[in-house]
Structure 1
Amino acid sequence: MRYIIFLLFLIFNFSAYSSEILKYEIESIIREINNEDDAKVGILIKSLSEEGFTFMYNHRDPFIPASNQKLITTVSALANLSPDFKYKTILATDGNVKNGILYGNLYLIGGGDPSLTVQDLEDMVKKLKEYGINRVEGNLIGDNSYFSEEGIGQGWPEDDLNYCFTARFSGLSVNENCLKVTVNIKNGKVYASMDPLNNYYQFVYSIKFSKKAGNVILKVEGNKIIIEGKASSKRSINLESSIPVNHPSMFTLSVLSKILDKNGIKVLGKMYLGKAASYKYLVIHQSRPLRELIKKANKDSDNFYAEQIFRTIGKEVYGEGSTYTSARAIIDTLRKMNITTENIRIYDGSGLSRYNATTPEALVKVLEYIYKTPYFYDFFESLAISGVDGTLKHRLNDQFLKGRIIAKTGYIKKVKNLSGYVKASNDEVFVFSILVNDFKTTEIANKLQEKICSILVKHPRMVGIGNLNTHNKN
């Protein structure tokens, strides 16, 4: 009996001593970083074992989250929509089909699906052909009303709006609202193509040929893609560019129009946007379940997926797919998790906005919450794994750290964040959030995050909770 008491005494004191050492090591790293760069740092680290190690540093201060915002978005989506949620895109009519002719309008009704592709639209049109339809007497109408907004978020960086990672959100979208343009100039001629094919954009050529070649550029003005510059008639030029479409719902409808033409279905009426009121289903396309879609948002840090999922929360909870309702629904969800929302501001779902604010405490509590739910593995599998995949494929990838940090990165100008889980060498699990704002160089933020993660992995504790892979799915 005395031996058991003595052993428990040793275990308790070693654990306490170990915690103090770990705390000292982390504080030393913070002091070192502050000496190099007076960055704003916020940290919360917590062991998921009972009465385990906790470290706090500015943990309730507001920080710009960058893509760590996606953690809040995707956890809230799982909580409000369920991992089985599927998006629907519908072809419908207000008329009737007779002798291969659709007497009425053909509607394309968007459901906010971030994953809808040209191939999906082609499959839907093939099913129309199975009805024997080869002509539409009415109009081709696109319904994008699933979201009450279309465009970009408040506080998105203006310098980045010409890139596809800031593609506009919309209730009716295709190919992540990104258009690929290829230009070949050869033997004094210009060949240009678009993917996907559409009726929305038009090429305008303004190329001058001369003996000496100059610069050839692409620029977009409204629905015109202008190719301009100087080219040599004796030299070939190949250009490839990807551009975010400026009117996603109309663009998507125009892609469908091209597909209908290709499949021999002629639409006699006009093409425009409008709300479908009374209609009958012709074809329904369903997306993969939400548990699969959040992998793109988190593991690959796909902004478009995050924005579509974000507005879906507001639509499904409050009946309106807007920034306001989605932010409100997420704040309500955080409060149900007993998270203080005083220093939290939500302007988008992706973290592109510099108006967003969150705290290390909020992020850790979100990660703690989902860990204790039946949805944990759906969420866990959406995160990047150090040295293995996603945005952590080339970070924290030495032999000892590889596969032990499962987390979400976040980066915009002067913001570099990392939040997630660490599996220590003894299989103890830490949940953490390390937020760094207002730094001079990204190397400072990287060093802070990587040193702390390394210490957590290499610092064994006496008490463990087992490997994450044994977490109960039920």
Structure 2
Amino acid sequence: MHARRRTVGAALAALAVVAGLTGPGTQAAPSTDPAADPLRARLTAILGDSRLDGASAALTVRDLDSDETLFRSFGSTRLLPASNTKLLTSAAALDVLGPDHRFVTDVLATGARRGGTLRGDLYLRGTGDPTIMAADYDRLAADVARSGVRSVTGRLVADDSWFDATPLAPFWSWDDEPYHYSAQTSALTVAPNTDGDAGTVLVDVHPGRRPGAAPRVTMTPANHYLHIRNRATTGTAGSDTTVSLVREHGRNVVDVTGSIPAGGETYEDQPTVDRPTGLAAQLFARALAHHGVRIRAGARHAVTPSAARPVASHRSITLAALLTPFLKLSNNMMAEALVKTMGRTVSGEGSWSAGTAAVLAELKRLGLDTSTLQLFDGSGLGRADYATTDQLAVLLDAARDKPWFATWYAALPVAGDPDRLVGGTLRNRMVGTAAAGNVHAKTGSMTGVSALSGYVTDAAGHHLGFAMITNNAVAGGVSSLEDAVAVTLAEHGAAARSTPRVRVAPASHAPTGPRAQLECTWTRSC
């Protein structure tokens, strides 16, 4: 997709002057005469689906080449955007931090050095790297050993002061705390996998050797920070898996209950960690011991003195590379680390209030009307974030003129592509349609909320930007309506058909269950 140079003012003006708009937040009923406007008729029919009865649904569609608004329904209505918030966060981060930004984790020392003995403290200082893993801490420990340090008379000091001490963003739900998509944010943390799920551990429950035996439970990374209370049992072969993992509130105790069938597959879950700084420090201390570095006085938390000398350092991948797992897999912890980092960069305060202020300031420079945009976090998990589809459409338009646009566009999930790091949260959607391999868009979903915003090239070669948000939907299956919108836009401009087609999956195809409306990668369901 090639950007055509334009002014943001032109985009704003085009949104403000739309046929049928009768006043702020109101709109006359659009024409449903296919001969008059087939695209409007098809999109109106999708928004008339019974699954949206009683819900609030907004849709804005723009031709990004001509700056023409093709369709707008409740585009100025403020709604919960869910993970569409990550579009705002990532665009702001690319401007505030730059595509080459890297998170740095340092090891520093105070005190005199005599031979292999450091007569002082060893500091482990983080800046919020959500991708750092146990193997990285091991390499840092190896570098300390290679520097010649064999014994530390002082303590190992964990320094997470780059961010403030608030672990969870405002308005996050208490009952989400045990689940990996709601992990605590810390400047010194650890991820158990290459997805960057910082602040969590992978727990595998393996069937026992015979029915009635206790299952075997393992953790990645292996640690003694979390305590596993194994109350599960091995069921008969072929029985149902009913295993459940829940971390106690405010404690690093994970209860494993339920049953796993003998000879069955390993059950995997990913509980969060309370105060993940402690887990990172424990893993580093263990790695130091493995490499022959002895800490004599234990561990503590403190701020690194300005006079401390560098010993070793780890640098993360660039922000440009981070965008792929961040946006493809809708990673909440990356979003929150970026928000606090922006706050630290702009105002010297690694907090959500400072970070969201930095995001809003940057979005205003991109041309968004931020007077009606409300952000309290970077991921959209909280239920006090509000955005409009018009604001998202302006962002999609303005982003095309930024030097980082190609990187950002490529990092968005691609409809129907089965590769997890290409299709992401859209890899099982719109398969076999005109939208497959064409739509690059960010998903968003949580209970009662669904969203899809991004780019599609229509059949005539026009580059379109679209944003759809639905709130208060209780019927389920709203994502199939978003897919129908995207497919309709992908087909737009083809030879006229005698009867407009609207492909909408029936409500019976909607997922079910108490957590079915969460972002699919948060439940590992896509």
Which TM-score band applies after superposition, normalised by the shorter structure? 0.7 to 0.9
Alignment equivalent of 1:432, drawn from 463, 466, 477: 466
Report how far residue 154 of structure 1 moved.
2.1
Distance 1:272 1:39 in 2: 51
* Aligned pair partner of 2:482 in 438, 449, 474: 449
Q: Distance in 2 between matches of 1:144 and 1:252?
A: 10
Secondary structure of the equivalent of 2:469?
strand
Are 1:326 and 2:340 counterparts?
no
Q: Does 1:84 find its partner at 2:117?
A: no
Cα shift at 1:38:
2.7
- For 2:156, the equivalent position in structure 1 comes to 140
Q: Is the 8 A contact 1:68 1:409 kept in 2?
A: yes
Larger gyration radius, structure 1 or structure 2: 1
1:200-247 C-alpha deviation (Å, 9 max, x unpaired):
2344567899x9x99886554423445678999x99996643211011
Q: How does 1:3-402 map to 2 (within 5 A)?
A: 20-30=37-47, 32-33=48-49, 37-175=53-191, 176-183=198-205, 185=208, 192-203=217-228, 219-221=246-248, 222-225=251-254, 240-277=268-305, 278-388=307-417, 389-402=423-436
3-state SS, counterpart of residue 75 of structure 1: helix
Q: TM-score, normalised by structure 2?
A: 0.77
Unpaired segments ≥5 residues, structure 1: 1-16, 463-474
- 2:517 aligns with none
Q: Does the CA-based 8 Å contact 1:311-1:321 persist in structure 2?
A: yes
Deviation at 1:399, TM superposition (A): 4.0
Matches of 1:190 and 1:430, distance apart in 2? 53
Whether the 8 Å contact between 1:40 and 1:436 is mirrored in structure 2 is yes
Deviation at 1:440, TM superposition (A): 2.0
- Give the count of matched residue pairs: 442
Distance 2:55 2:110 in 1: 60
Go from structure 1 to structure 2 and tell me whether the alpha carbon gap of 1:60 and 1:103 turns closer, same or farther (over 3 Å shift).
Answer: same
- What CA distance in whole angstroms lies between the structure 1 residues aligned with 2:186 and 2:133? 14
CA contact (8 A) 1:216 1:231 kept: yes
Deviation for aligned residue 1:359: 0.6
For the 8 Å contact 2:58–2:77, the answer to whether it is kept is: yes
Please, what TM-score do these two structures have when normalized by structure 1? 0.86
Q: 1:231 to 1:19 in 2, by over 3 A?
A: closer
2-structure distance, mates of 1:28, 1:230: 47
Gaps of 5+ in 2: 1-33, 192-197, 418-422, 496-526
Within the candidate set 421, 425, 430, 2:455 is matched to 421
1:312 aligned partner, one-letter code: T
- Name the CA distance, whole Å, in 2 between partners of 1:422 and 1:401: 7
* Percent of paired sites with the same residue: 26
Q: 1: distance between equivalents of 2:320 and 2:376?
A: 24
Query: How far off its partner does 1:273 sit?
Result: 1.1
Tell me the residue number matched to 1:466.
Answer: none
Residues 225 and 44 (structure 1 numbering): CA distance in 2 closer, same or farther, change over 3 Å? closer
Paired residues of 1:180 and 1:240 also in contact (CA < 8 A): yes
Q: 1:202 to 1:28 in 2, by over 3 A?
A: closer
SS of the counterpart of 1:409?
strand
The answer (yes or no) to whether the contact 2:51–2:475 under 8 Å persists in 1 is: no
Higher mean C-alpha displacement, 360-369 vs 70-79: 360-369
- Match for 2:74: what amino acid? N
Mapped partners of 2:65, 2:233: distance in 1: 70
Once the two structures are TM-superposed, the CA of residue 256 in structure 1 deviates from its matched residue by: 0.8
C-alpha contact (below 8 Å) 2:62/2:71 kept by paired residues = yes
Is contact 1:360–1:433 with CA below 8 Å preserved after alignment? yes
Structure 2 contact 184–274 (Cα < 8 Å) conserved: yes
Give the alignment partner of residue 460 of structure 1, picking from 485, 493, 500.
493
